Amino acid sequence: MRVLGIDPGVALTGWGVIEENSGSSTGLKMLDFGVVRTDKNVPHADRLALIYKEIQSIVKKYSPEIVAVEQLFFCKNLKTAISVGEARGVVLLVIAKAHIPIKEFTPLQIKEAVCGYGKAEKQQVQKMVASLLDMKDIPRPDDAADGLAVAICCANSVKIEQKINLNSVNT
């Protein structure tokens, strides 16, 4: 199973691609990660169009079987929340048009899945992402590490769902 995880944002949209790998200690392997970076001096609509185009390109390149997107959970600044919501909408549109299943997770769920603690600090999440994916270094920038964390959360969630479904069939 190949999973694309996305941490949406207008300035930086973090992403990471992982897949199942029985040769890894955690059963997961990192394929690639990065960010879609937009220029704050470019009109907002053009920034959203760039996010659309880049996420579309990533989907085409890696052909994920499932895409996980971080939910907008809480934001102190309403203007920022609206902007991030628009970036999320663009990401969800790309995925829906590609007919790929989408899973959405809150930051609390992602931290819980990666660190075992829903209120883990950003640096703890980054270190665990590197550890779980057998990476020598912490993925940079932070948003890319967050994209990988979303993918890990999704992969673990799907594994649990499969086990539950298998158990219910066998009983």
Q: State how far the Cα of 88 lies from the Cα of 26, in Å rounded to an integer.
A: 29
Report the chain's mean pLDDT, rounded to a whole number: 91
The catalytic residue among 19, 20, 65, 70 is: 70
Please tell me the predicted confidence (pLDDT) of residue 159: 75
Respond yes or no: is residue 20 known to be catalytic: no
Respond yes or no: is residue 143 known to be catalytic: yes
- pLDDT score of 171 more than 70: no
The sign one gets for the Cα dihedral 17, 46, 142, 152 is negative
- pLDDT score of 164 more than 90: no
Domains detected in the chain = 2-170 (3.30.420.10)
Q: State how far the Cα of 61 lies from the Cα of 170, in Å rounded to an integer.
A: 38
The catalytic residue among 19, 54, 143, 146 is: 143
Respond yes or no: is residue 70 known to be catalytic: yes
- pLDDT score of 103 more than 90: yes
Q: State how far the Cα of 102 lies from the Cα of 125, in Å rounded to an integer.
A: 22
Task: Report the share of the chain in percent with pLDDT over 70.
Answer: 92
Please tell me the predicted confidence (pLDDT) of residue 30: 97
Average pLDDT over residues 147-162: 89
- pLDDT score of 167 more than 80: no
Cβ contacts of residue 70 below 8 Å, gap of 6+?
Answer: 5, 6, 7, 8, 104, 105, 106, 107, 110, 146, 150
